[in-house]
Structure formats: C-alpha cells, structure tokens
Amino acid sequence: MKNLCERKISYSALTVLMLLGVTACGGGGSSSPATNTSSSVTYSTTSSKGDYSEWTLSGSSLNANWEVINSTGVIDYTYAIAATCGSADADNIHSCTVDSSSCADGVATCPTTVLSGTFDMMEVPGVALVVHTSAASGGDDLHAGFVKNASACLDDVSGDYTFIHTGVGLQKNFGMFRTDANLVSIDHTEFGFDTTATSFSGYNNQSVVYRSASGPDTLTNNGCVNGLRKRTTSGGDAIRAMMTASGLYVLDLPAGQGGLLAFNVSKAATLADFANKTFGGLVFPDDGPVEPFHANSAALVSGKVDLNVSLFGGTTFNIMGLTTATGMTNPTDADFSTSPAGYSSSPLATAYPTTKDIPGLFKLGKLFDSGRVILAAMKFNNKVIAIGMVYNYRDPGYFNNPSTGNPFTGPGLYNSGNFILFEK
C-alpha cells in the first residue's frame, strides 16, 4: 500500500481561481444544465494539494465526497463528510461543523483519525464555492470550484483559455491553453518569473520566463462520467477536468502540482470592468492563515484603477495592464511586451506573440514589499471574478518549499500566495 506520508503536498491558494460559474452560454458550444435544484447545489472543486471533491450545499447542510489524490493523480482514499454550516459573517464566511465522516480505501489505507471540528466555507450562490479545511477536518487544504455540470461530457469545449496555476512553491504560474472539442488534442504555454539574483539583496529585477515544452500534446482519453473528464498526460499523470461550454474550467492535477483554473478568452475582463465596484475576497499566503477581505474600487484614471482593501489595516493598491509602468523598484517591472526565449516555437505564439497579448491578465501597483502580483480576470453573469498570485524571491538558505517541505532547489521567483476577488 502507498503510505500517506509519501504524498507531496502543495499548500496554496490559487485554487481559488476556480470561483467560476458554469451556467452561462458561450465558449465552444451550447450550455448544459448544472447539478442544481431549488433545494441544493453541487460544486466541483480542486484543492491546493491537488485533491478533487464534490460539495453539495442544501440550506445549512454541506456534504462532501473528497478524493485524496497522490503524486501520480491516483486516488489514495476518499472521505465522505457531512457538516452543518452557520450563518455568514460580514465577509461572507460560514463556519461549518463536522457532524459525521467516513473514509474508503483507495490505493492507500485511510488514516485512523476520524475527521472532526470546524472549517470555513464561502459561497457565491449558484456560482462557486471555497472551503478551507483545518488540520482536524482533513488537513490544511483549500478547495475551490464552481457549480457542477453533470452534462459537461457532451459539451464542445474547444477554444483558447487563460489560466493561472494553483500551488504555492511552484515556478509555473500562468499561461494559455488550447483544446479540441473533447480535451484530447491540446496546446499549452506556461510562464513564470525569474531573476539573475543569487541572494535577496541582489533582487532588483525580474523577467518573464517560458517554462513549458513547445508543440501539441495528445492526452489519453479515459472517458467522462457525470461531467468529469479523465485523461492521462503524455508524461503519465492522471488528471481530472470539469470543463463546460460556458467557457470555464477547473483542471485537477496530481498532488504537489495544484491545479489549473481558467476561462475562455471570450470571457476575459477589461480594466474598465474593475472600476467603481465593491468586491469580496480571500487571500492565501504561504506564511500565514487564510484571510477574508473586502474592497472598493475607484474610477479608471490614467490606465489604473485604485483598489481600497481592508487587509493590513486598510491599504490601497491599483490594478493596471501588464505594460503600464508601476514606478516600483527593487524589483523593477517585468517586461511583458517581449517574447520570452523559446516561446516563439509554441503553436499559441502566432495568436498571442507576447504575454501582454494574453486576454484577461493584469498586475498590481502600490505594493509595499518585493513581492509582485499578476492576476487573471473574467466576467461571468456580468460580474468580475479575478484570481491572483503573488511571486517572491525564495532561496534554500531561508525558506522551505511548501510543495515539498524541503528547502527550495535553488534561488528564484516562486508563487508565494494567491487570492480571489469577486464582485458583489
């Protein structure tokens, strides 16, 4: 039997990117009905560790089928959880108490500890769900996803998608994905950030780096059941994808790789969409607890939208396009207008020659430390949903990589936290 301790865990947050709905028409075909009745809604989620779950919310009752996935994408074991959730607080967070739980063995033996205690849940009703489980209620894990579409197996999902990687401690951060109608023939591009610095004191610049292999890939089709496509990559990893004709999807990768959260480029938000709005959100750093927050945005002025955020005692950032100068130094802005080395060989480079050409990508200014932020934003049901990631300098002398628990393999820029921002 495979032991649980052999799993490579990635504590992250960008899984929250998955706060995307699936009930609108668009994308590559006609819309299909979601798993949603007048009394209950089921959400499909991936997690910061790379687990796949389905959560059914009926009033105050929340029931989960939680598949704990190992580093090859195979199910170690499956939890079934029943919980009761209280009323939402000012930040839209519900505290849920585990009423009962059970576990079924997969390729590994279930833990002997019975799940108990409380965990937090945030719902965008009928659109998306975020659950942050605790150590007692299954482990420090962040689950996020959208309304399940049981008929998604029939959807034509062809098209181009913008995505952000989930998974703190990773150097693959964002990119694009092109698929045929059934997620078999794909092209993908993945980008990250790097620096020539070999110590933190020398970190004063950064560059965009192309991190994926070029050329198309063909996935092994392992079928689709109840809306969930199962595939195997050419590298042998088992993956799960809840993709819909609405132009949104969550792709669940093996443990240690987090997941991908994405939207069809036709759903991409513009900078003007951020202006004069009220937002709620969650932030997930690699060095502290998950925190809810609220924010208000100002008008679009000189290519920037100020965002007043309740975090850190209240502060203001601004949202801007990738080529707008932030004025920040140490490090200075990355160059998003030049094609990174190696990217020109990608099939996607013809339509999107540089990273500034990827629809729906933005960055933040007015940051007060060396961390830098990129976010992907879409519109769903005329509302803005943005998923962001913070990247920071890390080296083996000072930090352990959250995805492995071991020192980083070398100095560089890694995903150090994620957040989600949704329009109220």
What pLDDT is stored for residue 31 in this prediction?
A: 33
Q: State how far the Cα of 386 lies from the Cα of 378, in Å rounded to an integer.
A: 6
Per-residue pLDDT of the chain (424 residues; tens, 9 = 90+): 222 222 222 323 333 333 332 222 223 333 333 455 558 999 988 887 778 899 999 999 999 999 999 888 899 999 999 999 999 887 778 999 999 999 999 999 999 999 999 999 988 777 778 898 988 998 888 887 778 888 899 999 999 999 988 777 888 899 999 999 999 999 999 999 999 998 888 999 999 999 986 568 899 999 999 999 999 988 888 898 988 777 777 788 877 776 777 899 999 999 999 999 999 888 877 777 778 888 999 999 999 999 999 988 899 999 999 999 999 999 999 999 999 999 999 999 999 999 999 999 999 999 988 999 999 999 887 889 898 889 999 888 777 887 777 888 889 999 888 888 888 8
Closest CA to 51 of 220, 237, 288, 256: 256
Q: State how far the Cα of 2 lies from the Cα of 166, in Å rounded to an integer.
A: 25
- On whether the CB atoms of residues 267 and 146 are closer than 8 A, the answer is no
CATH of domain 154-266: 2.40.128
What pLDDT is stored for residue 110 in this prediction?
A: 97
| Full-model pTM | 0.84
**Identity at 228, one-letter amino acid code:** L
* Residue 24, token pair as written in the block: 């609108």
CB atoms inside a 10 Å sphere around CB 328: 15
Report the b/e string of 87-101 with b at 16+ CB within 10 A. Answer: eeeeebbbebebeeb
* Residue 83, token pair as written in the block: 């919980």
Q: Which residues contact 19 (CB under 8 A, 6 or more apart)?
A: 124, 127, 128, 129, 130, 144, 145, 146, 385, 387, 420, 422
Closest CA to 186 of 152, 228, 221, 219: 219
Positive/negative CA dihedral, 162, 167, 169, 170: negative
Provide the phi-psi class of 402: left if phi over 0, else alpha when psi is between -120 and 50, else beta.
alpha
- On whether the CB atoms of residues 66 and 83 are closer than 8 A, the answer is no
Interval 27-85: pLDDT, tens = 333 333 345 555 899 998 888 777 889 999 999 999 999 999 988 889 999 999 999 99
Burial class (CB in 10 A: 0-12, 13-18, 19+), 189: buried
Interval 149-171: pLDDT, tens = 888 999 999 999 999 887 778 88
SS3 content of the chain, % helix, strand, coil (to 5): 10, 45, 45
* Residue 172, token pair as written in the block: 């693959």
- CATH 2.40.128 at 268-423, yes or no: yes
Place of tokens 């607080």: 89
HSE toward the beta carbon, residue 3, CA cutoff 13 A: 2
The DSSP 8-state label assigned to residue 109 in this structure reads: P
Q: State how far the Cα of 351 lies from the Cα of 208, in Å rounded to an integer.
A: 18
The helix/strand/coil state of 183 is coil
**Identity at 396, one-letter amino acid code:** P
Q: Where in the chain is the domain with CATH 2.40.128?
A: 154-266, 268-423
CA dist 143 to 14, 46, 217, Å?
Answer: 10, 6, 28
Residues in the chain: 424
Burial class (CB in 10 A: 0-12, 13-18, 19+), 28: buried
List of long-range contacts for 321-324, beta carbons under 8 Å, 24+ apart: 321/271, 321/356, 321/362, 321/363, 322/355, 322/356, 322/361, 322/362, 322/363, 322/374, 323/356, 324/363, 324/365
